[in-house]
Amino acid sequence: MTAPVIVWLRRDLRLADQPAFHAAARGGAPVIPVYVLDDETPRHRRMGEASRWWLHHSLAGLDRDLRELGSRLVLRRGRCDTVLAALADETGARSVHALHHYEPWWRNAERAVAERLDLICHHGNMLAPPGSVTTGAGTPYRIFTPFWRALSQRLPPGEPLPAPTRLIAPAQWPLSDEPADWALLPARPDWAGGMRAEWSPGEAGALERLETFAELAARYAEQRNLPALAGTSRLSPHLHFGEISPATVWHRVGGAGGSVGTFLGELGWRDYAQNVILQFPDYGGRNARAAFDAFPWRSGAAARADLKAWQRGLTGYPIVDAGMRELWATGWMHNRVRMIAASFLIKHLLIDWREGERWFWDTLVDADYASNAVNWQWSAGTGVDANMFGRIMAPLSQSAKFDAAAYIRRWVPELAGLPDGEIHDPAVRPGGYPARLIEHAAARARALAAAAAIRA
């Protein structure tokens, strides 16, 4: 029998528009799909708890889809290069197909696997291969606007590849772990009830979410900043886990008209973030602007208490608290509220942006290294393309401007009885709702003084 080929899966858990599966199936050899839970290679970037919950269900969905094709998903745990080499020895496989990934630990893993096996990597998780969109001088872009302008010249992306209709099974399937062996789901306590109610991980769930969004896409710019409305796509975790490709999303909604171009620009931002971490692999933990290395972030017991209050949604600012509670309950937060909550931590509380980045890494189901790091550094003013530190969001006026009353009522039930005119900034604090950690004017003055200190 022809030697089997391995399809190595990571954040590309789909069958449609999946070039690794397409190439493996086209060759006519038996195909062994494998997911390796590798907590060793990423080290401190081990997948967060919310992402692990999503992964469990996404792997289960992919296995079901594979079994409909006469195949199955093999689960193994350990260092990717060691596990894949052992699997190749067991099965007689000679080659491995995979999609390129650009997080620094996955690039290291690809090099390690390629030293031991014939690794064929394909592009397919971005609109264009990261590193391929460059200036006229051949250098990578650092600023989003010219990057997006250049990327737009190469769009739309090619038509998505169809899912394979059959995958040839090996004569004997290698042993596989069971999903329960990995203990990806919370048990004591089971804190995932809100996520189960909100999400359907897997390729089928991604396609259903896309169809729902397709009806709203033409009004994206008008509705995306309103937390109380379902105006955003909520595709981010599906895109992060590769349950759907950006090309599939583009071709489904790109012709919607109206303000869909604003949404397509958000897909472009994903590409931009990947290009940033390709240039700066440590972007998730190091200021891109060296001047901020001397920034006087708060530390000590008072700062730790404020950080905990922010994490728990007890800052006394209803829009911030609603967002942080939505995050804890569902593993996701509305994009406008993410910006408000991030700005509040950094500028109102003067807490290092890396504390927020780490919290989001653990609690978001769409905790993407590139996007998370780029967004936090944008908010902090520390990034290569960033908001000026002196632009400080006013949470109370942001809440009223974007009509967040219904959103606050859902996530801060202590305030649910207040009328719209009071709920954004309640004079009376019902139900034990806390006082503000700091007043906006005082916070703004303190933040501007701290910023001035590093310019002195």
Among all residues, which ones are annotated catalytic?
A: 266, 269, 297, 335, 353, 376
Reduced to 3 states (helix: H, G, I; strand: E, B; else coil), residue 6 is: strand
Q: What is the DSSP string of 169-236?
A: PPSSPPP---GGGG--S--SS---HHHHHH---SHHHHHHHHHHHHTTGGGHHHHTT-TTS--S---H
384 φ/ψ angles, rounded to the nearest 5 degrees? -70, -30
Q: Is 147 helix (H, G, I), strand (E, B) or coil?
A: helix
Q: Supply the DSSP symbol for 134.
A: B
Question: 444: buried, middle or exposed (CB in 10 Å: 19+, 13-18, 0-12)?
Answer: middle
Neighbours of 112 (CB within 10 A): 18
Q: Do residues 335 and 224 touch, judged by C-beta distance below 8 A?
A: yes
| Residues 449 and 431 sit within 8 Å (Cβ to Cβ) | no
Distances, alpha carbon 380 to alpha carbons 184, 210, 338, 388, in Å: 32, 32, 13, 8
Contact 157, 246 (CB under 8 A): yes
Are 216 and 258 in contact by the 8 Å Cβ rule? The answer is: no
- CA distances to 109, 148, 285 from 143, in Å: 28, 9, 19
Cis amide bond preceding 130, omega within 30: no
